């Protein structure tokens, strides 16, 4: 079970955008609590775990090409990002935090955007973007918008003469609701000769269910309007599954704690390696997954009912890919998006390219 099923997306770090290095690059960036996903105009999709901790790496790499932990400095504090046991991201202030900022910078570096100036669209969970009455949470949106514009410097540039890393600078940053981004991905269709709005998709009543790391988002769009009574966020996602597996492992093996990376591997592979030996933990993963799926099913029914008035129910997010066999028969009119983990990032890029006007880019 894995949240990211598209292997091509994770091994293209060295590919570059063959543009003038002085040209601004447009980026869709879904900076989720479990993974941070990048969509680029040349079609590349890049993902990194949202994994970082405060402090230097404390590791000297024998060969630069094997480096798996990278250091970044923001507001006078050094963070280690990459193959570390990360600090929890499941807190309300994460979208505007320094932890988020260094993880985003690392994702941009991995996407080959070192030294580039960027125009960027990101997202917030639906409940963090809208109040219950549909008004926007302007302070939270502005905090997110301003947070990513703060400087983050790759420390590696100061230590290594063989690896050059310059900060990626964000010149423009817009924020939209995360699941609504997937709606833009759905209605803006890319063709060989350009893009177009699909009129049938644009006007059809549709629900987006976005199963992410910390939250599962719901957005119902009808006649190009968001139906707030059926939209919102549930604070349950794939990170809850990992936390449950961690608790079960600690109980069975009488352990006080385990690193976050070893738990992630156990969930992905159903195997736990302790003292040089592998242990089968598939029953724990299955139990934790069943508990999560039951909770998601109950909330989805509460939000959408039987979905009879909807033309389509579109599942997106890394959780939809990981749980595809468990959610396959919830509705007769449901679909899981292609490369579902990247639907929001693709939609954010399309929103930037085809919705944002010149005036907004100058803010």
3-state secondary structure of 178: helix
Supply the DSSP string of 31-43, one letter for each residue.
E-SSEEEEE-TTS
- Tokens 């089968």 appear where? 280
Provide CB contacts within 8 A for 280, sequence distance 6+.
Answer: 270, 271
CB 186 within 8 A of CB 201: yes
**pLDDT above 60 for 159:** no
Q: Please tell me the distance from the alpha carbon of residue 169 to that of residue 279, in angstroms, as a whole number.
A: 45
- Pairing mode, strands 271-274 and 277-280: antiparallel
**pLDDT above 70 for 163:** no
% of the chain at pLDDT higher than 70: 91
pTM of the model: 0.89
Tokens describing residue 166? 């310059």
pLDDT digits (tens, 9 = 90+) for 206-247: 999 999 999 999 999 999 999 999 999 999 999 999 999 999
Long-range contacts: 219-226, Cβ < 8 Å, 24+?
219/126, 219/177, 219/179, 219/180, 219/182, 219/183, 220/303, 220/304, 220/310, 221/180, 221/183, 226/130, 226/134, 226/177, 226/180
Closest C-alpha to 349, from 42, 48, 4 = 42
* pLDDT number for residue 18: 57
All domains in the chain, ordered by first residue: 25-195+338-355 (3.30.420.40)
**pLDDT above 80 for 67:** yes
Closest C-alpha to 57, from 97, 84, 89, 87 = 84
Average pLDDT of the chain is: 90
Any idea which of 23-27, 68-72, 189-193, 351-355 has the lowest mean pLDDT?
189-193
| Beta strand ranges found along 56-106 (DSSP E) | 69-74, 77-82
Closest C-alpha to 120, from 257, 32, 26 = 26
């Amino acid at each position: 079970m894995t949240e990211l099923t598209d292997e091509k997306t994770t091994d293209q770090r060295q590919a570059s955008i063959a543009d003038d290095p002085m040209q601004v690059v447009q980026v869709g960036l879904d900076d989720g609590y479990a993974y941070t996903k990048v969509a680029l105009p040349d079609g590349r999709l890049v993902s990194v775990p949202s994994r970082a901790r405060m402090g230097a790496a404390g590791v000297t790499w024998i060969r630069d090409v094997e480096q798996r932990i990278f250091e970044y400095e923001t507001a006078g504090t050094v963070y280690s990002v990459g193959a570390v046991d990360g600090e929890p991201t499941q807190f309300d202030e994460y979208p505007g935090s320094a932890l988020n900022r260094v993880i985003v910078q690392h994702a941009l570096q991995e996407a080959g955007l070192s030294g580039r100036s960027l125009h960027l669209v990101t997202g917030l969970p639906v409940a963090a973007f809208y109040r219950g009455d549909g008004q926007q949470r302007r302070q939270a949106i502005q905090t997110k918008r301003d947070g990513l514009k703060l400087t983050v410097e790759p420390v590696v540039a100061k230590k290594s003469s063989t690896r050059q890393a310059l900060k990626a600078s964000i010149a423009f940053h817009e924020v939209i609701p995360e699941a609504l981004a997937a709606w833009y991905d759905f209605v803006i269709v890319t063709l060989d000769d350009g893009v177009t709005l699909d009129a049938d998709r644009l006007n059809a009543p549709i629900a987006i269910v976005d199963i992410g790391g910390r939250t599962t988002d719901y957005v119902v769009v009808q006649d190009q309007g968001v139906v707030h009574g059926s939209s919102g966020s549930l604070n349950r996602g794939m990170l809850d599954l990992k936390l449950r597996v961690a608790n079960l492992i600690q109980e069975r093996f009488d352990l006080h704690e385990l690193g976050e990376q070893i738990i992630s591997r156990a969930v992905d592979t159903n195997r736990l390696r302790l003292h040089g030996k592998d242990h089968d933990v598939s029953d724990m993963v299955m139990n934790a997954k069943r508990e999560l799926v039951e909770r998601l099913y109950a909330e989805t029914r509460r939000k959408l009912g039987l979905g009879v008035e909807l033309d389509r129910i579109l599942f997106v997010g890394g959780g939809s890919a990981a749980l595809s066999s468990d959610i396959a028969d919830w509705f007769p009119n449901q679909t899981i998006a292609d490369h579902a983990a990247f639907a929001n990032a693709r939609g954010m890029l399309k929103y930037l390219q085809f919705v944002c006007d010149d005036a907004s880019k100058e803010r």
